Amino acid sequence: MIVDIKGQNGGLVIIFGPGDIDQYINALKEKFESNPLLFKDFPVTFRGSSLKSLAPEELASLQRLCLDYGMTLAIPSSPKSTKVPTVSKNLIVRKTLRSGQKIIHEGSVIIVGDVHESAEVVAEKDVFVLGRLEGTVHAGCMGDLTSIVAAFRLHPRQVRIGDKISRPPSNSLPNDLPEMAYVEDDHICVKELLSPRTGSKRS
Amino acid sequence: MKKPSHECQVVVITSGKGGVGKTTTVANVSMGLANLGYKVVALDLDIGLKKLDLIMGLENRVIYDIVQVLEGECTIKQAVVKDRRNPNLYMLPAAQTRNKEDVTEEQIKKLIAELRKEFDFVLLDSPAGIEQGFRNAIAAADWAVVVTNPEISAVRDADRIIGMLESAQFNNIKLIVNRIRPEMVKDGDMLSIEDLLNHLCIDLIGIVPEDTRVVISTNTGEPIILSQNSLAGKAFSNIARRFTKEEVPFMNLEHNDSFWEKLKNMGRSVFSSKQVG
């Protein structure tokens, strides 16, 4: 969906999906035209990571469009909103990564799904997989050895943290428990995620 | 040509890896759909490496090919080859002397828009690989079937292809597991259907058991679906019925001994134990 409009805390939130400025303007116009009274007088907030790719004047034209249809612009730091206005460096991927798919991100990556064999995740910080991790991961790709890799099922082909590389030993049966990999004494270690005291060295 | 009776479905049959049975699937499922009374055309998009005409046994009837249609040298009507067994079934052959790069996605889209007006089903036989030929094959399809074999190399390629289909906004992708050998699965020597589904996470539309008669049917150009008493043929006809949204239960391959066969085996064991005794 190019744009989605939702009601929230007595105002409107417009969420921008992937698209360009012309698509946004057309989609908004279509929605506003369909029922002009529905939107009138409401404070509007813009959301969506696609907004970052817009030029300031393009953003302004979207705001002007809302004003033209009788809406007001919500003040971002209103006392109602309790969200910390920092730019999140986490990337949340809500899908399974299949063979040949690769994610590179300057921050931590959270994958809500599986990472299949021959898929790759490269992150500047941590990698969390809420699913099975069978592919290749590189956490702390810029050298941050405090980065970790955690997964509901940690069965990767290869784990890298910083400049360390580890492969699971070929004769070991994969553990069916949530686990995490981290660097200790220059080696990548793996331990169960839920019981922090048990640790076992892997390489 | 008469008007189709249903809304046309354009289905691409693809796999990533070669030799898993895409063309065999296209030949058999299109024959199966034609036998159900649908008007079907099968397109061979493996330009430069055509096979579908051979497997359907129509190589002698080929006059024009798909590239000539796309380049306006002949009409679609002139190029489609009518099947000699079923008047509902047509085939559009690939060009053997051309390359996949000679065809664009736009051209395929235009051609398929034309075919939609005339047919109930358009089946696209995709080439192996993930390059231009594959992109051409998926450009105009409504949904996709991924064919795989129960071996890790085919499964990895299938996974890659499913990922690419998902990126191309396909939301209906079905899996065919071809050449499964239930006795090997039972002994733990072959990946099971559960293993495959567990890994690939898509819906199954067919399980085709290994059948040596498929080789013969390929050589003679008589799709296996036409031969009686073939489990593979039965599996393909079930797949064709599932294409039409009919709910068909999956064959139970593990207990395919009929009552009479069981009885015969029992008789044999009684007989041999008597002899030993």
Residue A166 covered by a domain: yes
Residues A69, A95 share a domain: no
Q: What is the pLDDT of residues A146-190, one digit of tens each?
A: 999 999 999 999 999 999 999 888 777 888 999 999 999 999 999
- The answer to whether position B80 is within a domain reads yes
Instruction: Measure A81 CA to nearest chain B CA, in Å.
Output: 35
* B3 against A113, higher pLDDT: A113
Note whether A60 and A142 are same-domain residues: no
In a domain, A8, yes or no: yes
Q: Give A124's contacts (C-beta < 8 A, 6+ positions apart).
A: A105, A106, A107, A108, A140, A141, A142, A144, A147
Looking at A29, A46, A73, the residue that finishes a domain is A73
In a domain, A176, yes or no: yes
Q: Name B82's bridge partners.
A: B90
Is A118 in contact with A100 (CB distance < 8 Å)? yes
CA dihedral over B194, B196, B202, B206, signed as positive or negative? negative
Report how far residue A149's alpha carbon sits from residue A129's, in angstroms, rounded to the nearest whole number: 8
Tokens of A200: 């076992």
B166 part of a folded domain: yes
How many angstroms separate the CA atoms of A167 and B122, rounded? 46
- Is B236 a domain residue? yes
What phi, psi does A128 have (nearest 5°)?
A: -120, 130
Residue A47 pLDDT exceeds 60 = yes
With 70 as the cut, is the pLDDT of residue A85 above it?
Answer: no
Q: How far apart are CA B25 and CA B43, in angstroms?
A: 12
Burial class, B40, CB count within 10 angstroms (exposed 0-12 / middle 13-18 / buried 19+): buried
Of the candidates B55, B53, B33, B21, the one whose C-alpha atom is nearest the C-alpha of residue B209 is B21
Residue B58's pLDDT band, with cuts at 50, 70 and 90, is very high
Q: Mean pLDDT score of chain A, rounded to an integer?
A: 84
- Domain of residue B22, CATH code: 3.40.50.300
B199, closest residue in chain A (CA to CA)? A116
Query: Based on C-alpha coordinates, what's the Rg of chain A?
Result: 22
In a domain? residue A85? no
Give the domain extent around A126: 91-201
Q: Do A99 and B199 touch (CB under 8 A)?
A: no
Least confident of A178-187, B48-57, B256-265: B256-265
Domain boundary among A45, A73, A101: A73
Chain A interface test: which of B148, B191, B199 (most A C-beta within 10 Å): B199
Is the pLDDT at A87 greater than 60, yes or no?
A: no
Q: Tell me which amino acid residue B231 is.
A: L
- Mean pLDDT check: name the lowest of A28-37, A70-79, A84-93, B13-22: A70-79
Are the CB atoms for B179 and B150 separated by under 8 Å? yes
Interface list for B 157-196 with A (CB within 8 A): 157, 159-160, 162-164, 166-167
* Residues in chain A closer than 8 A to B156 (CB atoms): 99, 117-118
8 Å CB contact between B11 and B141: yes
Phi then psi dihedrals of residue A61, to 5 deg: -70, -35
For residue B4, tell me if it sits in a domain. no
Residue for token pair 């996974």: B159
The residue segments making up the domain with residue B57 are: 9-276
CB-hemisphere CA count at 13 Å for B263?
Answer: 3
Q: Are B160 and A97 within 8 A, CB to CB?
A: no
Domain boundary among A18, A44, A73: A73
Q: Tell me the average pLDDT across A96-122.
A: 95
Residue B33 in this model has a pLDDT that exceeds 80: yes
Task: Indicate whether B3 belongs to any domain.
Answer: no
Closest CA to B173 of B208, B154, B149, B145: B145
Q: Which sign, positive or negative, has the C-alpha torsion A27, A33, A36, A41? A: positive
CB pairs under 8 A between A and B: 29
Q: How many domains does chain B have?
A: 1
Clarify whether residues A195 and A97 are in a common domain: yes
Tell me what pLDDT residue B87 has.
97
Residue A83 lies in a domain: no
Residue B46 located in a structural domain: yes
**For residue B135, which amino acid is it?**
R
Q: Give dist(CA A121, CA A129) in Å, integer.
A: 10
Write the DSSP assignment of A142-166 as a string of letters.
TS-TT--EEEEEE--SEEEETTEEE
Mean pLDDT, chain B, rounded, equals 91
Tally of residues, chain A: 203
In a domain, A84, yes or no: no
Q: What angle do CA A73, A76, A81 make, to 5 degrees?
A: 120
Alpha-carbon span B16 to B153, nearest angstrom? 10
Number of domains in chain A: 2
Residues A111 and A191 in one domain: yes
CATH of the domain at A13: 3.30.750
Residue B63: partners with Cβ closer than 8 Å, 6 or more residues away: B78, B79, B81
Residue B1 lies in a domain: no
Alpha carbon distance, N-terminus to C-terminus of chain A? 46
Residues A193 and A143 in one domain: yes
Residue A79 inside a domain? The answer is no
pLDDT of B36 reads 97
Q: Output the pLDDT for position A77.
A: 47
Residue B266 above 90 pLDDT? no
Specify if A82 maps to a domain.
Answer: no
Residues A51 and A107 in one domain: no
Same domain, A41 and A112: no
* pLDDT, tens only, B226-251: 998 899 999 999 999 999 999 999 98
Q: Are residues A195 and A134 in the same domain?
A: yes
- A128 DSSP β-pair partners: A110, A150
pLDDT value of residue B258: 61
Helices (H), B129-258: 132-138, 152-167, 182-186, 193-200, 213-220, 231-243
Q: Residue B37 and residue A127: Cα distance in Å, rounded?
A: 53
| B164 neighbourhood in chain A, CB within 8 Å | 100
A22 & A100 share domain: no
Of B25, B153, B42, which Cα lies nearest the Cα of B93?
B42
Q: What pLDDT does B2 receive?
A: 47
**What is the reported pLDDT for A179?**
95
pLDDT band at B275, cuts 50/70/90? Answer: very low
Question: Is the confidence at residue B274, as pLDDT, over 90?
Answer: no
Which comes out higher in pLDDT, residue A53 or B43?
Answer: B43
